[in-house]
Structure 1
Amino acid sequence: MQGRVSLSVGWITLFLMGTDLFVVSPLLPFISKAYKVSPTTTGWMVTVFAVTYSFSAPLFGWLSDKNGRRTFITFGLLLFVISNALTAFASSFLWLIVSRILAGLSVASITPLIYAIIGDIAPPNRRGTWLSIVVSGHLTALWAGAPFGTLLEYFLGWRSVFVVMAIIGTILAVVNFRTWEAIPKSVFSRNLLEGKLLRILGSVSVTTIWAISMYALYVYLGAALDSENRFSSTEIALAVTFYGVGAVIGSLTSGQLTDKFGVRKISKATLIILILILICLGIFFSSGDWIYLFLFIWALVGYAGFTSYQARLAVEYPKERGIVMAWNNTALYIGITIGSMIGGYVITKWGYPLLPYVCSVAAGVSFVLSTQKVQEAKKESAFSADT
């Protein structure tokens, strides 16, 4: 029973964190109109969020290892409440940006620590299952949380979305504080990454480039659908739902494929297919209802690749698995940051239609880096066998 309660609290908390991240994209057109700024400028809401998260998440992870995770999760949720309330009632676009910086800081002290605390309390033979359950909460926000926020905007305005998240965050702050008991402090060796840091950074760089291929377009998806297809808020919500369902299905099914065919084959195959589907997305972006299918396939393939690559990292770094996964999470948000900046630049210079093709180039670069890492791993394995 305690395990079910812990998983439920972790799932709901990560669902809220995912909603806070993913709901901004479909709301960009309405926020732009409210503050009379361009969609490109409004995209900085995502950029500052991701930058703050990327730099602060490792710090909170280190502090929680020393001082316990429950305190920082509770602190993060309280800060989450403040940041979303400020987003809802920001009097200027500057204060809106400040609110998203605080939101990035809050989520950085929650999301990685939920993963860590579930890993701490899970039975060793079910740790992977427990983690996959709470991860599904984050991905479910793509097809449920973000569209719900868009529909809420339709009836009550975009500010109501952040008010509701602040209210739920208040409840979860109390629930999380009461749920998590004190977890024993972890003991890490300072020399654990000695000689491997550059290799690890090279490996997680694949995730960074992958994130660019997904988020350079996704960050501006709502604005692009509004501009190129004249979609209403309900149609944008439906498009994001198709994307989110594809992401969840792709993530869940890739595990079985990875187990059957191997982590390297699946991670490489999904990147190749991702390149092709992004090109098709560019060709058919203004094709009306067909866009729903292409968004579904794009997310299906993209997140299948992300999940399989995480499994590959777990296999290639068995002794440094926890640390590598933490850096991979940071690499993801760095990619989101760079992707949003590239997307904004492309929109300014050439418009929305070019975005899918730029993303396909990024997917190609990710594939090349991924292949290079396979060759390096094979060389290391051969060297180890000889010695």
Structure 2
Amino acid sequence: MSDDASESIPILEPTSENNLHFSPVSSRSKKYKNAITMIVLFLINLLNYMDRFAIAGVLEQIQDYFHIGDAEAGLLQTVFVCSYMALAPLFGYLGDRYSRKLMIILGVTLWSMTTVAGSFVPKHLFWLFVLLRSLVGIGEASYSCVAPTIIADIYKNDMRTKMLALFNIAVPLGGGLGYIVGSYVSKAFNNDWRWALRVTPALGVICVILLIFLVTEPVRGGADGAHMQKTSSWLLDVKQVFKIKTFILITMGFTWVAFGLGSLSWWGPIFLQKAHILASGSEDPKEKTNVSLYFGIVTCGAGILGVLLGSEVARRYRKINARGDPIVCGIAVLLALPFLFSVLLLSKDHLILTWIFIFIAETLLCSNWALISDMLMYIVIPTRRSTASSMLIFVMHLLGDASSPYIIGEISDFFRDGADDNLTQWVSLRNALMLTPFIAALGGAAFLFAAMFIVQDRRRAEETIESTAISNDFGLYEKI
């Protein structure tokens, strides 16, 4: 039979998660619908990380505007991530039970409104700016907990791996664009940092319109051949998720890597600006803008390469070793450590070499993002995936990048001891950032330990899904 003929054969798809009414949908139209959904989710994820890191591209201007030190500057990221983290369990609960599309629409609307509101805060109300940054985190949490589960419900196997890789490319690409857009929009408006926070809200409006008119929410478990409804309690879901040894270990690994990567992404531009000033002997504002540009370009390039490289290596490797995903994650993190140390030690005297090492280190550290999402989707059953994602987000941010920017800022202020010269500022930040490779090393070890359990945990999830599919074949709509 030709491919065209096979595509014209009607297939049956549930039109609602709550009943068994079916409608004929051609496989071709289904592919188009899935592709549109994927594109919109990618764009929102891109916007998510642009919004998050635009503020890092103008962080020094914000410090000057509000007259704050490194600790308070780190607090801006900490409160954002803390609110993001604290609300994740709630959105995980809702995401397994109610409309995920509606949650994303509300989330994008909230973070767009609070981001633009932050740009109008007067300089004597720093506390209000901190509060608004925390509200941005609430909006983003509603999206991050459920978007990967939608992808998992429209794709499976290798295609799911590829689509999750594409989705996660938006993380480094959006982060890099955030640095670039933040610094250059500010520069275009006479170094007024507030305009850097007014770009992403406008794009957020476009994303909401695309969501409303173009995205159709898939049935939970549909790609895996089982259509599931949720009846178990949230506490039971959490208990069952934390019984999965692989989940615990990849959560620990991601948390410790996030501690290192979160602090480096937040403090990296300022640290490198100080290094460039010391190397050139000039404090030209254009040079600071260029550093943010370079950092953004390197982050984009390294992140995209890392996600694609990690996903492809793992996809090929797990054909000969079913434990390939966590092994690739662990080895990549451990390989990044020497380059992180080199960046911190050489940045003042060897600028070109520093940028090369940053690219290599970020490529290796970013290689695990898509793999973590993929592992999470195949070791957890569909009706608990949002809950599992929210638990990972909660722990990862609580012990990872929620605390690390503030901790690094406090350590930096301790070493600086009130001094304002560039050399002391560079040395104090370098000494504080030296903590990050040691923490990241723990993450690499946790991923390697996860390889011991991932085969059993995946098999257990697949058996549950298969039993549900059999029940559906006999006319029973399984509820889990």
Normalising TM by the smaller chain, what interval?
0.7 to 0.9
Corresponding residue of 1:31: 62
Residue 347 of structure 1: SS of its match in structure 2?
A: helix
Whether 1:225 aligns to 2:267 is: no
- What aligned pairs does 1:234-383 form with structure 2 within 5 A after superposition? 234-261=290-317, 262-286=324-348, 287-311=350-374, 317=379, 319=381, 322=385, 323-334=387-398, 335-350=400-415, 351-374=428-451
Residue 283 of structure 1: SS of its match in structure 2?
A: helix
**1:288 Cα deviation from its structure 2 partner:** 2.4
Corresponding residue of 2:10: none
When residues 348 and 179 of structure 1 are mapped into structure 2, their CA distance, relative to the original with a 3 A threshold, is: same
What is the distance in 2 between the residues matched to 1:314 and 1:275? 28
Which is further off, 329-338 or 50-59?
329-338
What is the distance in 2 between the residues matched to 1:379 and 1:62? 26
What is the distance in 2 between the residues matched to 1:214 and 1:69? 29
What is the distance in 2 between the residues matched to 1:274 and 1:362? 12
Whether 1:50 aligns to 2:81 is: yes
> What percent identity do the matched residue pairs reach?
16
**1:209 Cα deviation from its structure 2 partner:** 0.7
What is the distance in 2 between the residues matched to 1:66 and 1:176? 19
Q: What do residues 119-145 of structure 1 show as CA deviations (whole Å, max 9, x unaligned)?
A: 334477733333332222233112334
Conservation of the 8 A alpha-carbon contact between 2:346 and 2:354? yes
Which is further off, 178-187 or 330-339?
178-187
**1:297 Cα deviation from its structure 2 partner:** 1.0
Match for 1:282: what amino acid? L
What is the distance in 2 between the residues matched to 1:146 and 1:259? 31
What is the distance in 1 between the residues matched to 2:166 and 2:442? 31
Corresponding residue of 1:385: none
- Structure 1 gap ranges (5+): 382-387
What is the distance in 1 between the residues matched to 2:314 and 2:204? 36
Instruction: Give the superposed CA RMSD.
Output: 2.7
What is the distance in 1 between the residues matched to 2:93 and 2:195? 35
Corresponding residue of 2:471: none
Residue 127 of structure 2: SS of its match in structure 1?
A: helix
Q: What is the TM-score of this pair, normalised by structure 1?
A: 0.88
- What aligned pairs does 1:65-76 form with structure 2 within 5 A after superposition? 65-76=96-107
Which is further off, 103-112 or 349-358?
349-358
Conservation of the 8 A alpha-carbon contact between 2:164 and 2:373? no
Corresponding residue of 1:384: none
What is the distance in 2 between the residues matched to 1:8 and 1:116? 15
Whether 1:175 aligns to 2:210 is: yes
**1:275 Cα deviation from its structure 2 partner:** 1.7
When residues 366 and 114 of structure 1 are mapped into structure 2, their CA distance, relative to the original with a 3 A threshold, is: closer
What is the distance in 2 between the residues matched to 1:181 and 1:379? 34
- What aligned pairs does 1:102-121 form with structure 2 within 5 A after superposition? 102-121=135-154
Match for 2:151: what amino acid? I
Match for 1:347: what amino acid? S
Name the structure where helix makes up a greater proportion of residues.
Answer: 1
What is the distance in 2 between the residues matched to 1:227 and 1:218? 15
When residues 380 and 93 of structure 1 are mapped into structure 2, their CA distance, relative to the original with a 3 A threshold, is: closer
Conservation of the 8 A alpha-carbon contact between 2:76 and 2:130? yes
Conservation of the 8 A alpha-carbon contact between 2:52 and 2:175? no
When residues 13 and 355 of structure 1 are mapped into structure 2, their CA distance, relative to the original with a 3 A threshold, is: same
When residues 354 and 240 of structure 1 are mapped into structure 2, their CA distance, relative to the original with a 3 A threshold, is: farther
Bigger radius of gyration: 2
Conservation of the 8 A alpha-carbon contact between 1:151 and 1:234? no
What is the distance in 2 between the residues matched to 1:184 and 1:25? 38
Residue 220 of structure 1: SS of its match in structure 2?
A: helix
Whether 1:63 aligns to 2:63 is: no
When residues 65 and 330 of structure 1 are mapped into structure 2, their CA distance, relative to the original with a 3 A threshold, is: same
Conservation of the 8 A alpha-carbon contact between 2:158 and 2:315? no
How many residue pairs get matched? Answer: 380
What is the distance in 1 between the residues matched to 2:304 and 2:40? 19
What is the distance in 2 between the residues matched to 1:4 and 1:375? 35
What is the distance in 2 between the residues matched to 1:356 and 1:172? 36
Conservation of the 8 A alpha-carbon contact between 2:54 and 2:180? yes
Residue 89 of structure 1: SS of its match in structure 2?
A: coil
Conservation of the 8 A alpha-carbon contact between 1:29 and 1:39? no
What is the distance in 2 between the residues matched to 1:132 and 1:367? 20
**1:259 Cα deviation from its structure 2 partner:** 2.7
Q: Quick one: which of 192, 200, 215 aligns to 1:165?
A: 200
Conservation of the 8 A alpha-carbon contact between 1:243 and 1:298? no
Match for 1:104: what amino acid? G
Q: What do residues 88-123 of structure 1 show as CA deviations (whole Å, max 9, x unaligned)?
A: 111221111111011000111123332233333447
When residues 368 and 115 of structure 1 are mapped into structure 2, their CA distance, relative to the original with a 3 A threshold, is: closer
Q: Quick one: which of 42, 48, 68 aligns to 1:11?
A: 42
What is the distance in 1 between the residues matched to 2:438 and 2:210? 44
Match for 2:289: what amino acid? S
What is the distance in 2 between the residues matched to 1:248 and 1:357? 26
Conservation of the 8 A alpha-carbon contact between 1:9 and 1:175? yes
Which is further off, 143-152 or 69-78?
143-152
What is the distance in 1 between the residues matched to 2:219 and 2:371? 31
- Structure 2 gap ranges (5+): 1-31, 221-227, 278-286, 318-323, 416-427, 459-480
Q: Quick one: which of 130, 134, 137 aligns to 1:97?
A: 130
Conservation of the 8 A alpha-carbon contact between 2:249 and 2:449? no
What is the distance in 1 between the residues matched to 2:376 and 2:39? 27
Which is further off, 281-290 or 324-333?
324-333
When residues 104 and 246 of structure 1 are mapped into structure 2, their CA distance, relative to the original with a 3 A threshold, is: same
What is the distance in 2 between the residues matched to 1:65 and 1:193? 12
**1:211 Cα deviation from its structure 2 partner:** 0.6
Q: What do residues 9-31 of structure 1 show as CA deviations (whole Å, max 9, x unaligned)?
A: 11111111011112222221111
Q: What do residues 193-249 of structure 1 show as CA deviations (whole Å, max 9, x unaligned)?
A: 656616433441111111112122221112212233224112222122112311110
Which is further off, 206-215 or 303-312?
303-312
What is the distance in 1 between the residues matched to 2:453 and 2:146? 31
Match for 2:409: what amino acid? G
Conservation of the 8 A alpha-carbon contact between 1:28 and 1:43? no
